[in-house]
């Protein structure tokens, strides 16, 4: 529910007309429960999942991008932090998808 509320708050939804000659991509909602270590304070997550298999490369799209760090980058940073004795902190970026700029 938090994801749905934050999408409304951040105005990430916009209803637009389908451009001429373009095909609509289907989607569905996926729901999961993330369990905490204590098993009491659970988080409910909602995801809008695109049915990517309905589109064809070059005809419907040319490239995709997600602003997510690659595992190699994270491993290098953790290795540097260990070798240089840097203090580490844990953090989570909520709604990371809002920080990526897509162009037509």
Q: Is residue 31 assigned to a domain?
A: yes
pTM of the model: 0.41
Q: What percent of the chain has pLDDT over 90?
A: 8
Residue 100 lies inside a defined structural domain of this protein: no
Ranked by mean pLDDT, the top range of 18-22, 38-42, 60-64, 75-79 is 75-79
Name the residue range of residue 45's domain.
2-18+25-93
Q: How far apart are CA 30 and CA 15, in angstroms?
A: 21
Residue 98 lies in a domain: no
Q: Is residue 7 part of a domain?
A: yes
Q: How many domains does the chain have?
A: 1
Q: What angle do CA 53, 58, 60 make, to 5 degrees?
A: 55
- Among 26-35, 67-76, 91-100, the minimum mean pLDDT is found in 91-100
**Sign of the Cα pseudo-torsion (36, 41, 42, 48, in order):** negative
């Amino acid at each position: 529910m938090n994801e749905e509320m934050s999408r409304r708050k951040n105005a990430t939804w916009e209803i637009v007309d389908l451009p001429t000659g373009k095909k609509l991509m289907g989607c569905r909602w996926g729901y999961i429960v993330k369990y905490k270590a204590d098993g009491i304070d659970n988080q409910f997550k909602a995801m809008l999942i695109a049915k990517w298999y309905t589109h064809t490369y070059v005809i419907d799209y040319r490239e995709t991008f997600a602003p997510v760090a690659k595992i190699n980058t994270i491993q290098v940073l953790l290795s540097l932090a260990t070798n240089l004795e840097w203090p580490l902190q844990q953090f989570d970026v909520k709604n990371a998808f809002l920080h990526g700029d897509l162009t037509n």
